[in-house]
Structure 1
Amino acid sequence: LTDYKVRVLDGKSATAASVRVLIESTDGTDSWTTIGVSCDVIEASWLALVDSFEYKLIKDIEKKYHKFI
């Protein structure tokens, strides 16, 4: 995790406003950004974090698979 940003998408909705969380991640070689959106900042953060881990795992599997082709 290299950066974490939270943005309120609709400030007029007060406590019912949706938030967008952007997480920037790196493995030391590659970098990627994932996004989570929810009315709950913790849920939006969790969604972005899970997507970040899934993205990294999928990319690692693809790299490993392409070595055999």
Structure 2
Amino acid sequence: SFLLGLSVLPFLYNVWKTAKYGKKVEVDDPWGFGRSLEWATSCPPPRHNFLTLPRIRSESPAFDLHHPAQQQELTHR
């Protein structure tokens, strides 16, 4: 049990360091490659997420929204 407790210390240190010195996320999709709809809405999401239900035309609707050139390249093959 001592080793298990000791192994939690690096995790707690990382949580503390990130909370104190980490950069604030200011964009909705910080990595830019979100594939599903939760990356297409604002952060934090509004009460109903979307004003109208979005039309889904592929497996990666949020990626298609943020990278339309790549979507066009895939459809013109």
Question: TM-score w.r.t. structure 1 length?
Answer: 0.28
Larger Cα-atom Rg = 2
Which fold has the larger relative contact order, with Cα–Cα distance below 8 Å and residues 6 or more apart in sequence?
A: 2
Greater strand proportion: 1
Question: TM-score w.r.t. structure 2 length?
Answer: 0.26
